[in-house]
Amino acid sequence: MASVNTYLNFSDQTEEVFNYYKTIFGGEFAGDGFSRFGDIPPSDDMPAIPESDKDLIMHVELPILGGHSLMGCDAPASMGFKLNKGNNVHISIQMDSREETDALFSKLASDGVITMPLAEMFWGDYFGSCTDRYGIQWMLNCAAK
């Protein structure tokens, strides 16, 4: 089922932040908990992860209230990220079909900036991100094949 979540980016603090939020909201982290950059399989299409970044958080999800989840990751400078307060929040949409994902992504990216084109990802989903014409950052993910 489609859902919308809030995605937060931090500079090397994601594990601390999400453990803190867990004390506030309770519950358990979804899936396997903290996924780390060191878990990314090597690929010829991607530069090697620096040793200093391998223990940083690539993804975590904490269900909070009313079916909503906080999701997050570290944003290493070595990978080109430059966080400022205000650019560290994304609206993350889990889509039901690739066709819907393509259509919505196209509309959101129109007159905006595609930050990661829609593509098959190593975790098995179809994913892309963009910033719309008003500066709002979006992440679209679709698990359906």
Question: Looking at residues 30-44, what average pLDDT do you find?
Answer: 90
The pLDDT tens digits for 96-140 are 999 999 999 999 999 999 999 999 999 999 999 999 887 889 999
Whether the pLDDT of residue 29 is over 90: the answer is yes
Determine whether domain 1-81 maps to CATH 3.30.720.
yes
CB-side neighbour CA atoms (13 Å) of 91: 11
Q: What is the pLDDT of residue 103?
A: 93
Q: What is the pLDDT of residue 1?
A: 66
Q: What is the pLDDT of residue 79?
A: 81
Token readout for 42 is 């090597």
134 contacts 113 by C-beta, under 8 angstroms: no
Domain ranges in the chain are: 1-81, 84-145
Distance CA 104, CA 127 (A): 12
Query: Which is the CATH superfamily of the domain at 84-145?
Result: 2,3-Dihydroxybiphenyl 1,2-Dioxygenase, domain 1 (3.10.180.10)
Confidence of residue 50 (pLDDT cuts 50, 70, 90): confident
